């Protein structure tokens, strides 16, 4: 809310420096967002929190300053002579939404002077409205807006001659239409509150008047409305129809329900003063049982002092409460019984009063106290493990990236990642309209943008949640990385990142995370090249995939050069057992080298499995140290050379034990794969 410094000073009856005022407001919880100089005055922009509807006026803000200064506000009084009663009848049907409806009639006023020119209001009123960002419309509307700005009561004026029959306050019928002042017609729902006459709606209550009943330059008689609309019937409506008004903002936060007659008095006095005319007595239709109640709260002095670490005496607390217009009903030893003022809707429980006292004392004046609790928690979480894993990748020269969790559903569909996709009903833009089911789309976006800048070598990873809904919503933590290596290598390094580099990395991640019982199978991922990829399993559960990206994906994303990708489910990496350290064997190890010639088509793993099957339980290591094709070998052959190491924890192994194992390996490899020993 924007307000002029001079306006506040008028209410306070004294001058204040702008810096002091601004600091004081901020420290009271009315945060000053900005101050701008306007001629000899200052416009102060206050960021009001939604609980403080009572500060939505010069009066409200000044009330806070006065309380903090421990003084009282200057009293203002408007009075106007009244003639008779209005003949217009108002029927309030929706009492729960409109517990109080006050109105009066002003006739014989004129918005223009004898020359047909619009009458001007004092510069002070105009500049206060302008500073508050309230547009000048016509003198009647401007005066009503000024009353709202000054004391906080939103009002409305109907052109009396445009009203037919009695006025009703009622809920709308389904799809009932109202043509608003700003010329838009909206279709209402049953919970919307309307002011109507015999012909139909004349206002969307508390939010905006209708075009047809509005005050115009030739208006000569008006009906002034000053009502209390219950916040819960106004809340959400303005937002629903996209029409926030100064009135709706105030009504939805709550307007002082004892303010209506005072506002009528002030408005009619100003209208008659500047526009002429005479007014009727005000009429007020009240449903007491539907009006908010001033609340009774018991405040324990002990409780208060404990909460904020003070030792305030009861006398001081009583004094501070009274400066806030909080009425003290009774005091019983430690308990102060109070009644909340009608302008405060945010005071409900003892803690609310604690905050009030704390505000007036000043948060900065409250003591800091070291916490003496010894409560410590040692529950294990995945946070540290995840961080370790991220650092592991970082040490392997991967750069971490963070992408939005929502992406374009079109891209997810194209990549066949749309199974169980969760759409956002109100996305900020269409390309951020669905929750990611994989980290792949984000990472390829990063690849494409960085490659465009000429990056020909990229190792990036991301750790975060992916989302899907099959039966219910599921979130799981993933870790994925992308390796793009098209760089011209240096004189001393020739190897380019390939599938085997990736396999080494993937197994290191599993090993680093201490996952036992790892196995690899052909990958089932649509994203990966079917011949250059693998899925990684923990027991029988798939925990990740890695490989070269499928050429069809490259086509889809229109990226010409190949790259590698891996994705893990991190939750699965972490629920592994703790490690038990085993004492190494004291006995010597034995090594033998064996080279087999086999068909080129035979997968390494087949021969490997056969060797380990027959090598006996003391085999501790098997290493493929040479893979050879060509030379003296036939075209469809290859040679695989293994170094086998045996060691026992129980004793030194004998040569003939090893020989026996080797014979068995050779015999079985020959019968199973036709493997020949290379001499």
Partner 1 sequence: MDLHQLKKQLSKDLNKASNSKDLQDLKIKYLGKKGRISLLSKDLGKLSQSERPKAGKAINLLKKFFEEQIQILSKEIEQQEINAILETESIDTSLPVQSEKLGNLHPITKTIDKICQYFISRGYSIEDGPEIESEYFNFDALNIPKDHPARDMHDTFYVDAQMLLRTHTSPVQIRAILKSKAPLKIICPGKVYRSDADQTHTPMFHQIEGLLIDEKVNFGNLKHELTEFLNYFFGKKLKVRFRPSYFPFTEPSAEVDIMDKKGWLEIMGCGMVHPNVLKEAGVDPKKYSGFAFGLGIERMTKLDYQMDDMRLLFENDLRLISQS
Q: Compare residues 400 and 600 and give the one whose CB is closer to partner 1.
A: 400
Q: Compare residues 51 and 648 and give the one whose CB is closer to partner 1.
A: 51
Q: Compare residues 19 and 76 and give the one whose CB is closer to partner 1.
A: 19
Task: Annotate 19-43 with DSSP letters as a single string.
Answer: HHHHHHHHHTT-EEEEEEEETTEEE
| Distance of closest approach, residue 137 Cβ to partner 1, in angstroms | 26
| Distance of closest approach, residue 112 Cβ to partner 1, in angstroms | 40
**Torsion angle, CA of 14/16/18/22, rounded to 10 degrees?**
-90
Q: Compare residues 51 and 112 and give the one whose CB is closer to partner 1.
A: 51
| Distance of closest approach, residue 632 Cβ to partner 1, in angstroms | 37
Among 277, 341, 427, 616, binds partner 1 (CB under 8 A): 427
For CA atoms 442, 447, 448, 449, the dihedral sign is positive
Among 425, 495, 578, 679, binds partner 1 (CB under 8 A): 425
For CA atoms 309, 313, 317, 320, the dihedral sign is negative
Choices 37-45, 54-62, 369-377, 578-586 (CB under 8 A): range interacting with partner 1: 369-377
Among 324, 358, 389, 607, binds partner 1 (CB under 8 A): 358
Choices 397-405, 505-513, 627-635, 659-667 (CB under 8 A): range interacting with partner 1: 397-405
Q: Compare residues 285 and 312 and give the one whose CB is closer to partner 1.
A: 312
Query: By the 8 A CB rule, do 480 and 565 touch?
Result: yes
Among 383, 540, 581, 583, binds partner 1 (CB under 8 A): 383
574 binding partner 1? (CB under 8 A): no
For CA atoms 373, 375, 376, 380, the dihedral sign is negative
Length of the chain: 679
Instruction: Return the closest-CA partner of residue 276 out of 137, 83, 80, 108.
Output: 108
d(CA 22, CA 3): 12
| Distance of closest approach, residue 308 Cβ to partner 1, in angstroms | 5
Residues touching partner 1, count (CB under 8 A): 89
Query: By the 8 A CB rule, do 588 and 571 touch?
Result: no
**Six token digits for residue 365:** 């004046």
495 binding partner 1? (CB under 8 A): no
- Bridge partners of 547, per DSSP, are 533, 565
CA distances from 291 to 100, 101, 258 (A): 7, 11, 10
Q: Compare residues 270 and 393 and give the one whose CB is closer to partner 1.
A: 393
Contact string 212-251 vs partner 1 (x = CB under 8 A): --------------------x--xx--x------------
d(CA 323, CA 12): 14
d(CA 386, CA 574): 8
296 binding partner 1? (CB under 8 A): no
559 binding partner 1? (CB under 8 A): no
Near partner 1 in 297-326, by CB under 8 A: 306-309
| Distance of closest approach, residue 27 Cβ to partner 1, in angstroms | 5
d(CA 341, CA 338): 10
Instruction: Kindly list the strands in the beta sheet with 676-677, ordered across the sheet, starting from the edge strand earlier in the chain.
Output: 619-628, 637-646, 590-599, 676-677
| Distance of closest approach, residue 415 Cβ to partner 1, in angstroms | 18
363 binding partner 1? (CB under 8 A): yes
Among 354, 389, 439, 480, binds partner 1 (CB under 8 A): 354
| Distance of closest approach, residue 389 Cβ to partner 1, in angstroms | 11
Q: Compare residues 198 and 349 and give the one whose CB is closer to partner 1.
A: 349
**Torsion angle, CA of 23/29/31/35, rounded to 10 degrees?**
-40
278 binding partner 1? (CB under 8 A): no
- Phi–psi pair at 112, nearest 5 degrees: -120, 160
- Bridge partners of 615, per DSSP, are none
- Bridge partners of 298, per DSSP, are 337
Q: Compare residues 5 and 250 and give the one whose CB is closer to partner 1.
A: 250
Q: Compare residues 24 and 220 and give the one whose CB is closer to partner 1.
A: 24
d(CA 129, CA 134): 5
Q: Compare residues 87 and 453 and give the one whose CB is closer to partner 1.
A: 453
Q: Compare residues 51 and 585 and give the one whose CB is closer to partner 1.
A: 51
d(CA 636, CA 642): 20
Query: By the 8 A CB rule, do 397 and 60 touch?
Result: no
For CA atoms 209, 212, 214, 216, the dihedral sign is positive
385 binding partner 1? (CB under 8 A): no
Among 104, 227, 401, 573, binds partner 1 (CB under 8 A): 401
Near partner 1 in 158-197, by CB under 8 A: none
Among 79, 375, 495, 558, binds partner 1 (CB under 8 A): 375
| Distance of closest approach, residue 472 Cβ to partner 1, in angstroms | 10
554 binding partner 1? (CB under 8 A): no
Near partner 1 in 34-53, by CB under 8 A: 49-52
Among left, alpha and beta (phi > 0; psi -120 to 50; other), residue 466 is: beta
* Degrees to nearest 5, angle at CA 190 with 186 and 191: 95
**Six token digits for residue 474:** 């599921």
| Distance of closest approach, residue 136 Cβ to partner 1, in angstroms | 28
394 binding partner 1? (CB under 8 A): yes
| Distance of closest approach, residue 176 Cβ to partner 1, in angstroms | 21
Per-residue b or e along 201-220, where b marks 16 or more CB atoms closer than 10 Å to that residue's CB:
bbbbbbbbbbbbbbbeeebb
Near partner 1 in 430-489, by CB under 8 A: 432, 435, 446, 449-450, 453, 455, 457-460, 464-465, 467, 473, 475, 489
């Amino acid at each position: 809310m924007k307000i002029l410094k001079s306006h506040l000073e008028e209410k306070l009856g004294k001058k204040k420096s702008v810096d002091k005022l601004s600091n004081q407001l901020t420290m009271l919880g009315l945060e000053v967002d900005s101050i701008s100089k306007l001629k000899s005055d200052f416009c102060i922009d206050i960021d009001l929190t939604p609980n403080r509807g009572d500060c939505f006026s010069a009066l409200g803000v000044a009330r806070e300053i006065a309380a903090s200064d421990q003084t009282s506000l200057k009293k203002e009084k408007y009075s106007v002579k009244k003639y008779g009663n209005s003949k217009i009848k108002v029927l309030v049907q929706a009492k729960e939404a409109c517990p109080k409806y006050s109105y009066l009639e002003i006739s014989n006023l004129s918005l223009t002077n004898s020359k047909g020119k619009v009458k001007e209001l004092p510069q002070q009123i105009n500049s206060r409205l302008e500073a508050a960002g309230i547009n000048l419309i016509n003198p009647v509307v401007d005066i009503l807006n000024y009353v709202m700005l000054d004391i906080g009561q939103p009002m409305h004026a109907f052109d009396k001659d445009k009203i037919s029959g009695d006025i009703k306050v009622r809920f709308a019928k389904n799809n009932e239409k109202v043509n608003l002042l700003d010329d838009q017609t909206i279709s209402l729902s049953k919970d919307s509150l309307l002011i109507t006459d015999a012909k139909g709606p004349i206002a969307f209550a508390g939010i905006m008047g209708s075009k047809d009943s509005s005050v115009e330059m030739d208006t000569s008689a008006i009906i002034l409305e000053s009502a209390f609309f219950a916040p819960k019937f106004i809340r959400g409506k303005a937002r629903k129809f996209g029409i926030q008004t100064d009135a709706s903002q105030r009504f939805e936060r709550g307007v002082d329900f004892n303010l209506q007659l005072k506002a009528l008095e002030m408005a009619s006095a100003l209208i008659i003063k500047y526009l002429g005319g005479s007014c009727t007595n005000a009429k007020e239709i009240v449903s007491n049982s539907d009006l908010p109640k001033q609340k009774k709260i018991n405040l324990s002095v002990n409780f208060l002092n404990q909460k904020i670490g003070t030792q305030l005496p009861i006398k001081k607390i009583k004094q501070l409460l009274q400066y806030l217009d909080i009425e003290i009903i009774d005091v019983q030893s430690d308990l102060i019984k109070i009644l909340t003022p009608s302008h405060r809707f945010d005071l409900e429980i003892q803690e609310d009063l604690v905050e009030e006292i704390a505000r007036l004392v000043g948060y900065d004046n409250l003591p800091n106290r070291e916490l003496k609790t010894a409560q410590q928690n040692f529950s294990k979480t995945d946070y540290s493990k995840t961080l370790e894993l991220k650092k592991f990748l970082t040490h392997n020269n991967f750069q971490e990236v963070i992408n939005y969790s929502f992406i374009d559903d079109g891209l997810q569909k194209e990549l066949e990642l749309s199974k169980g996709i969760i759409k956002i009903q109100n996305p900020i833009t269409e390309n951020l309209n669905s929750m990611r089911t994989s980290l792949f789309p984000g990472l390829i976006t990063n690849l494409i943008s960085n490659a465009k800048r000429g990056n020909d070598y990229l190792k990036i990873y991301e750790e975060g949640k992916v989302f899907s809904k099959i039966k219910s919503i599921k979130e799981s933590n993933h870790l994925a990385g992308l390796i793009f290596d098209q760089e011209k290598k240096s004189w001393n390094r020739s190897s380019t990142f390939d599938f085997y580099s990736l396999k080494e990395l993937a197994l290191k991640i599993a090993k680093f995370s201490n996952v036992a019982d790892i196995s690899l199978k052909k990958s089932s991922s649509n994203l990966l090249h079917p011949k250059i990829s693998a899925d990684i399993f923990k027991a029988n559960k798939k925990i990740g995939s890695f490989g070269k990206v499928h050429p069809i994906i490259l086509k889809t994303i229109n990226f010409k050069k190949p790259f590698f990708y891996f994705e893990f489910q991190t939750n699965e990496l972490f629920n592994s057992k703790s490690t038990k350290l085993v004492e190494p064997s004291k006995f010597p190890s034995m090594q033998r080298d064996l080279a087999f010639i086999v068909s080129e088509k035979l997968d390494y793993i087949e021969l490997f499995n056969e060797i380990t099957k027959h090598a006996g339980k003391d085999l501790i290591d098997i290493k493929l140290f040479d893979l050879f094709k060509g030379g003296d070998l036939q075209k469809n052959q290859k040679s695989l050379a293994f170094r086998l190491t045996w060691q026992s924890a129980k004793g030194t192994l004998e040569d003939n034990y090893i020989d026996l194992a080797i014979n068995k390996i050779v015999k079985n490899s020959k019968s199973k794969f036709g493997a020949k020993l290379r001499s």
